[in-house]
Amino acid sequence: MGARMDARDELDIRNLIARVAWMTDNWTSIEEYLLNYREDATWEIEGHGQYQGHEGIGRRVQEMLDQGVCGPGLPARHSVTSLEVIPDDVDPSSAVARSFGVMISTLDGEPVVVSYGQKHDYVRKGADGVWRVSRRVIGVQAWEEKTQAAAHAQGY
């Protein structure tokens, strides 16, 4: 079973992962979104490159909005399911949150699953007592191209 974790820390990590999903679609500023990540964090979709630090992750968030993938004002919504928090066996300020992610949007006014995959969020508790993502790895298992093309056609 491995290391055990304080229930408060586990709840904080679960809330962090849920907040990242929520804010991926509803941020009011990129800076607000980046508060969930350590300054030196990395963000990657397997096989599609890596974004480094707040500068790189912020650039990716803006790219996703500009491309009509997700962000404020777009119909896409992210959901996290089957979340498991795995404490580090040695470092009590580190853990991995693994989950499945689903992105839902609309196509011709109907809800459709746009993508799904697995996520591994490596999280660390800072000196301020706040858990933040230090590394996010997304493994996309399916992606619906027609939905993205339709979003562009609809002006998103």
- Give the model confidence (pLDDT) of 19-35 as tens digits: 999 999 999 999 999 99
Distance (Å, rounded) from C-alpha 120 to C-alpha 105?
23
Q: Which CATH number fits domain 7-153: 3.40.1000.10, 3.10.450.50, 3.40.190.10, 3.40.50.720?
A: 3.10.450.50
Instruction: Give which of 37, 94, 83 is closest to 60, Cα–Cα.
Output: 37
Confidence of residue 60 (pLDDT cuts 50, 70, 90): very high
Mean pLDDT of the residues in the chain: 91
- The reported pTM is 0.89
The four Cα atoms 144, 149, 152, 156 give a dihedral, to 10 degrees, of -20
Extents of the domains making up the chain: 7-153
Specify the pLDDT at position 26.
Answer: 95
